[in-house]
Amino acid sequence: MLFVLFSILTVGAYGSFNILPVVPFPQEAEMFSTNRRSLNVEEFRITTDQGHLLEDKVISSTINRYQHYFSRFKPGPLSPDGDITQVSLSVVYPEASLFIGVNESYTLNIDPHSPIVKLSANTRFGVIRGLETFYQLYNITDGTFPSVKIRDYPRFAYRGFLIDTSRHFLPVESIEMVITGLAMAKFNVLHWHIVDDPSFPYYSPSFPSLSEKGAYDSNHVYRIFDVLRVISFAENHGIVVVPEFDTPGHTLSWGKGLENFLTYCPGQGTFGGDYGPINPSVDSNYEVLHKLLAEVTSLFPGGFVHLGGDEVPFKCWQSNQDLVAWMKQQGIQTFNDLESYYEEKLLDIVHQLNTSYVVWEEIFNNGLHIQPDTIIHVWKGKWEDTMGKVIKAGYKTILSSPWYLNYISFSMDWKKYYQVEPYKIPGATPEELSLVIGGEACMWGEFVDATNILSRTFPRASAVAERLWSSEKQTNIGDMEFRLNKHRCGMCARDIPAETILLRSYCPVEFDGYDW
Amino acid sequence: MLFVLFSILTVGAYGSFNILPVVPFPQEAEMFSTNRRSLNVEEFRITTDQGHLLEDKVISSTINRYQHYFSRFKPGPLSPDGDITQVSLSVVYPEASLFIGVNESYTLNIDPHSPIVKLSANTRFGVIRGLETFYQLYNITDGTFPSVKIRDYPRFAYRGFLIDTSRHFLPVESIEMVITGLAMAKFNVLHWHIVDDPSFPYYSPSFPSLSEKGAYDSNHVYRIFDVLRVISFAENHGIVVVPEFDTPGHTLSWGKGLENFLTYCPGQGTFGGDYGPINPSVDSNYEVLHKLLAEVTSLFPGGFVHLGGDEVPFKCWQSNQDLVAWMKQQGIQTFNDLESYYEEKLLDIVHQLNTSYVVWEEIFNNGLHIQPDTIIHVWKGKWEDTMGKVIKAGYKTILSSPWYLNYISFSMDWKKYYQVEPYKIPGATPEELSLVIGGEACMWGEFVDATNILSRTFPRASAVAERLWSSEKQTNIGDMEFRLNKHRCGMCARDIPAETILLRSYCPVEFDGYDW
């Protein structure tokens, strides 16, 4: 094989050269030539010299997926330099398991002459990222690839997306479609806000009454089988599932299945009901939490749990005279102190479980005693100030404030998401900034369920994904618009109803994924 | 059979009694009793004593549809009064064909004791409306119907919905899904804004070059077969298709396939391009329009064509010196007069074709000479003023200004649509108000295609549909919220991804219509 480099054109970060329609844009890309390679659809195989790799569940499911996607395309015209027939994989550390921060780097080499494309990755998860880049480089219309060498890795370790299955239930299939779209944008964390006030759809073997009483009905429950299916599907896409059990507020649905768990406060509850947050004075509540969190942390393999802690209303606690009397007895002066009392007991439990955790920013803002490896999840306004304080205090942090994708608007709001820079924190030192480990787009469930979550999420979330994966110099809006449009068409061709971002446009393969 | 009326509870217009989850709400409904009837899913048949009815395409396809929908439900618990096994249809004028204003009235009688539900309609199209009401009365959870007698008819003759296939193409299947949802809300007009500036997807046998050059590509074209399929599908749902060929503006895509058709005006076109509106000075252009409209009006059987006429920009005409010289020669003083010159020639053509037409309000505002049966389509602000002037001048009118559903918002905008009252025109006499023949919800295509049109349209459009079908006294928001939620769940059960209208909710049968 001849490796003649016609010329090396630098594309990449400065985005002046619109030939690589990849989102998120790779860290480094070199064009070998302007000649394009065609895909030999019929002979095409993804292979490896490391035979044992094929026995791996993540690798084999990934290979199957991409072979299936390419098998749906029609053969393109013959390339003058011969067709591509293979992608050959190699992995340096095949045994690495999935965690937030696992090495996702890869190099992808589409040589101008060889029929074999080389994809080398540090771990199996880099293979997933590299094959997605390979898919996106394919031009559906003419069936060709550019001749290019890509070296790629994420800028941030935490690139999350929140789904909320309490306000509206999402069938497992719908969650799988979301994960498929997230993987196309190289997200690596699915934050599963699984329970909240409206419903408790998680089936707990330790406390079956929680979903029996707290779910909308028996059809709106995630059983162990369903949870494992989501976790496994996500792992095959290089995505860690972080479950959230938000307490002590946002727990109304828990109260239906557990006696004496919530604070009784007639007419003073969160929604003017008879119950409010968890009652911190009841010792058995901490036993419940311990047992439940032990179960959850052993079920979800990601090593992280999200403990919530946001928006705790005090009105209910205040109105319960027994609780107020108990506080006096304990020497707890304020309701803020009461919240701290609860949280410190909760955090002790989680420390005992040897699990890391993410918490909403209130836990930090209220000055609670937290473990050094805690991630503070910033979601309120003035995020630069809050994150500045968090990193000065030495904690890791992730950003969501500007990325509440459940808020929708008529026009192209992806630009607004794209223009956010998580490092724009006044006065922060480079060392402090290294504690900004990423961000998360949130799709809260007030008006979202299986009918619209895909079109509302994609490709808007991909603008956030690029901010979190690509170089911080990758900021050209026009360049991104061009790539994002191609990216959404690639999603449509893969049966994800990703909506248009242009006033007038079409896709070579339109979305055609209804069972109609 | 015994017709014992336990009590007659008036529901209906004042909506205090939430037992009938029908949208749009029927004009008159009487409860026979509070006992509920169950459906015998296995034996259930829709039949008629008028044997020839079954040979009719509209009736037979309607019967098949609803039998199919009901066959998907599980049997409910036995009713104490015995099961419903049949709906028996009767039609007074089975030969009536579909037009805007055809009689859609029906009576539906779910007797508390008989196994036979009686549905009587004036025309075949009333049968479609009545069976939909019957479907919506069914409680999916327990498998029962209320015992009720309904007499129903639309308040307005024109209840339209606009789709735009020029900015983004909609595959025929996607249009059929839209029609299915529209029929659930008893709409009766599909306004097909088929071509516009961005693309010309309509294949014209007289001018094949129009779509050959003007469509996005050859996969984004409606061939005669496709158009007939849409028309037939719509007719089977009691929906008239009104095609729009908007001129003389909004025609950039026409210019690609027709020489000398548009006005040449380098850099002064609508989007700063080299061409602007149709050139009114070119005689052969009127021959093109005549031939094209003759073809279109013979293809679409509804008897109406929408001629557009909105947003004609003058800058382009003004910059073309040949055109300006020609105006002088013809004694045409202003560009407003030039537009009138064009429109009057166009309207002459349409009169010769013996077709009625709808035009955007500019045609009226500019004082053009229009036929008495013209419908003026009001879409701009201050619609009360414009409609007041239109009806005082003796023209029929339809309202769209408050119903541009392509504008989206985070929260429950259906309430805003629902609170519009088309008769709220200051100083109008009852006779004048009778010229307000209805309204139309518009889903312009800037950000809408097959990926999101269904979830963005439904059930928001159904709020407009109720305003146009039900009594003007039907205004209770709480009552509508209850019914609209059930209505959207009914859509989901029928594979239409209608999005949620409540902050927290679920459907007994969730949307599960992806081919995944």
- pLDDT value of residue B79: 55
- What's the rounded mean pLDDT across residues B154-178? 98
Percent of chain B exceeding pLDDT 90 equals: 86
- B83: three-class secondary structure by DSSP: strand
Contacts of A497 in chain B (CB under 8 A): 450-452
Contacts of B448 in chain A (CB under 8 A): 499-500
Residue A506 touches partner B, C-beta closer than 8 Å: yes
Q: For chain B, what's the residue count? A: 516
- pLDDT value of residue B370: 84
Question: How near does any CA of chain A get to the CA of B117, in Å?
Answer: 30
Three-state secondary structure along B428-496?
Answer: CCHHHHCCEEEEEEEECCCCCCCCCHHHHHCCHHHHHHHHHHCCCCCCCHHHHHHHHHHHHHHHHHCCC
For B497, the closest of A177, A410, A452 (CB atoms) is A452
Percent of chain A exceeding pLDDT 70 equals: 95
- pLDDT value of residue B7: 32
- What's the rounded mean pLDDT across residues A150-154? 98
- Counting Cα atoms < 13 Å in the Cβ hemisphere of A305 gives 25
Give the tens place of pLDDT for each residue, A184-196: 999 999 999 999 9
Nearest-CA residue of chain A relative to B218?
Answer: A508
- What's the rounded mean pLDDT across residues A448-472? 98
| Chain B residues 405-434 within an 8 A CB cutoff of chain A | 406-411
Give the tens place of pLDDT for each residue, A322-375: 999 999 999 999 999 999 999 999 999 999 999 999 999 999 998 888 888 899
Q: Does residue A168 contact residue B506 with C-beta atoms inside 8 Å?
A: yes
The span from the CA of B294 to the CA of B288, in Å, is 10
| Choice between B285 and A143, residue whose per-residue pLDDT is larger | B285
Contacts of A499 in chain B (CB under 8 A): 447-449, 451-452
- What's the rounded mean pLDDT across residues B208-236? 98
**Poorest-pLDDT segment among A71-85, A99-113, B138-152, B387-401:** A71-85
How many other β-carbons are positioned within 10 Å of the β-carbon of residue B189?
26
Kindly indicate the confidence band of residue B78, based on its pLDDT and cuts at 50, 70 and 90.
low
Q: Do B495 and A503 touch (CB under 8 A)?
A: no
- pLDDT value of residue B82: 63
Q: Do B514 and A173 touch (CB under 8 A)?
A: yes
Question: How near does any CA of chain A get to the CA of B194, in Å?
Answer: 14
Closest CA to B254 of B197, B292, B293: B197
Kindly indicate the confidence band of residue B173, based on its pLDDT and cuts at 50, 70 and 90.
very high
Kindly indicate the confidence band of residue A78, based on its pLDDT and cuts at 50, 70 and 90.
low
Contacts of B499 in chain A (CB under 8 A): 447-449, 451-452
The span from the CA of A239 to the CA of A256, in Å, is 33
Q: Do A497 and B451 touch (CB under 8 A)?
A: yes
Residue B167 touches partner A, C-beta closer than 8 Å: yes
- What's the rounded mean pLDDT across residues A125-146? 94
Closest CA to B93 of B117, B60, B132, B120: B120
Q: Do B447 and A513 touch (CB under 8 A)?
A: no
A350: its two tokens? 């989680």
Res. A79: pLDDT tops 70: no
The span from the CA of A467 to the CA of A67, in Å, is 29
- pLDDT value of residue B77: 64
At A359, which helix (H) or strand (E)?
Answer: strand A356-360
- pLDDT value of residue A13: 35
For B511, the closest of A167, A451, A498 (CB atoms) is A451
Closest CA to A302 of A378, A231, A244, A202: A231
Give the tens place of pLDDT for each residue, B303-326: 899 999 999 999 999 999 999 999
Tell me whether residue A271 is exposed, middle or buried, using C-beta atoms within 10 angstroms of its C-beta: 0 to 12, 13 to 18, 19 or more. exposed
- pLDDT value of residue A81: 57
For A512, the closest of B171, B408, B505 (CB atoms) is B171
Residue B481 touches partner A, C-beta closer than 8 Å: no
Kindly indicate the confidence band of residue A271, based on its pLDDT and cuts at 50, 70 and 90.
confident
- pLDDT value of residue B271: 85
Res. A2: pLDDT tops 80: no
- What's the rounded mean pLDDT across residues A227-252? 98
- pLDDT value of residue A266: 94
Question: How near does any CA of chain A get to the CA of B307, in Å?
Answer: 22
Q: Do B516 and A173 touch (CB under 8 A)?
A: yes
| Chain A residues 232-271 within an 8 A CB cutoff of chain B | none
Contacts of A515 in chain B (CB under 8 A): 495, 513-516
Kindly indicate the confidence band of residue B4, based on its pLDDT and cuts at 50, 70 and 90.
very low
Kindly indicate the confidence band of residue B12, based on its pLDDT and cuts at 50, 70 and 90.
very low
Structural domains in chain A, CATH included, are 9-152 (3.30.379.10), 158-472 (3.20.20.80)
Give the tens place of pLDDT for each residue, B94-143: 999 999 999 999 999 999 989 999 999 999 999 999 999 999 999 988 88
Contacts of B449 in chain A (CB under 8 A): 499-500, 510-511
User: DSSP code of A98?
Assistant: P
The span from the CA of A473 to the CA of A63, in Å, is 32
Q: Do B220 and A506 touch (CB under 8 A)?
A: yes
- Amino acid occupying residue B195: V
| Choice between B40 and B228, residue whose per-residue pLDDT is larger | B228
Average pLDDT of chain B? Answer: 93
Residue A168 touches partner B, C-beta closer than 8 Å: yes
| Chain A residues 121-150 within an 8 A CB cutoff of chain B | none
- pLDDT value of residue B10: 35
| Chain B residues 5-24 within an 8 A CB cutoff of chain A | none
Q: Do A446 and B512 touch (CB under 8 A)?
A: no
Distance between first and last Cα of chain A: 49
Residues of B acting as catalytic residues? 311
Q: Do B516 and A495 touch (CB under 8 A)?
A: yes
Closest CA to A150 of A136, A171, A160: A136
Question: How near does any CA of chain A get to the CA of B72, in Å?
Answer: 15
Beta strands B240-244 and B262-264 are unpaired
Nearest-CA residue of chain A relative to B221?
Answer: A506
Res. A272: pLDDT tops 90: no
Res. B2: pLDDT tops 50: no
Q: Do A492 and B406 touch (CB under 8 A)?
A: no
Kindly indicate the confidence band of residue A9, based on its pLDDT and cuts at 50, 70 and 90.
very low
Closest CA to A177 of A483, A505, A443: A443
**Poorest-pLDDT segment among A175-179, A446-450, B50-54, B283-287:** B50-54
Question: How near does any CA of chain B get to the CA of A170, in Å?
Answer: 9
- pLDDT value of residue B33: 82
Q: Do B506 and A410 touch (CB under 8 A)?
A: no
Residue A455 touches partner B, C-beta closer than 8 Å: yes
Nearest-CA residue of chain B relative to A508?
Answer: B219
For B514, the closest of A169, A500, A514 (CB atoms) is A514
Q: Does residue B432 contact residue B118 with C-beta atoms inside 8 Å?
A: no
Angle between helices A283-299 and A335-352 (to 10 degrees): 40
Distances in Å between the Cα of A486 and the Cα atoms of A18, A77, A477, B77 are: 11, 20, 14, 52
Q: Do A515 and B510 touch (CB under 8 A)?
A: no
Res. A10: pLDDT tops 50: no
Cα-Cα-Cα-Cα torsion B232, A505, A175, A410, nearest 10 degrees, comes to: -100
A458: its two tokens? 């994609």
Q: Do B450 and A171 touch (CB under 8 A)?
A: no
A491: its two tokens? 């999603």
Q: Do B516 and A176 touch (CB under 8 A)?
A: yes
Best of A500, A509, A512, A515 to disrupt the B interface by mutation (most B CBs within 10 Å)?
A: A500
Residue B492 touches partner A, C-beta closer than 8 Å: yes
For B169, the closest of A166, A451, A510 (CB atoms) is A510
- pLDDT value of residue A8: 35
| Choice between B402 and A42, residue whose per-residue pLDDT is larger | B402
Q: Which of A173, A311, A421, A510 is catalytic?
A: A311
Contacts of A233 in chain B (CB under 8 A): none
Three-state secondary structure along B249-280?
Answer: CCCHHHHHCCCCCEEECCCCCCCCCCEEEECC
Contacts of B500 in chain A (CB under 8 A): 168, 447-449, 451
Q: Do A513 and B514 touch (CB under 8 A)?
A: yes
Best of A253, A448, A510 to disrupt the B interface by mutation (most B CBs within 10 Å)?
A: A510
- pLDDT value of residue A14: 35
Give the tens place of pLDDT for each residue, B333-371: 999 999 999 999 999 999 999 999 999 999 999 888 888
Give the tens place of pLDDT for each residue, B425-484: 999 999 999 999 999 999 999 999 999 999 999 999 999 999 999 999 999 999 999 999
A258: its two tokens? 């557990």
Beta strands B436-443 and B158-164 are parallel
Residue A167 touches partner B, C-beta closer than 8 Å: yes
- What's the rounded mean pLDDT across residues A441-458? 98
A87: its two tokens? 């992608």
Letter string b/e over residues A241-267, b meaning 16 or more CB atoms within 10 A of that residue's CB: bbbbbbbbbbbbbbbbbbeebbbbbee
B177: its two tokens? 């899904």
Q: Does residue A202 contact residue A195 with C-beta atoms inside 8 Å?
A: yes
The span from the CA of A437 to the CA of A378, in Å, is 12
- What's the rounded mean pLDDT across residues A65-74? 89
Q: Do B407 and A410 touch (CB under 8 A)?
A: yes
Nearest-CA residue of chain B relative to A492?
Answer: B451
ipTM: 0.93
Cis? peptide before B154, omega within 30° of 0 = no
- What's the rounded mean pLDDT across residues A393-397? 97
Residues linked to residue B151 through DSSP beta bridges, in sequence order: B28, B107
- pLDDT value of residue B395: 97
The span from the CA of B9 to the CA of B374, in Å, is 43
Chains A, B: CB pairs < 8 Å: 146
The reported pTM is: 0.94
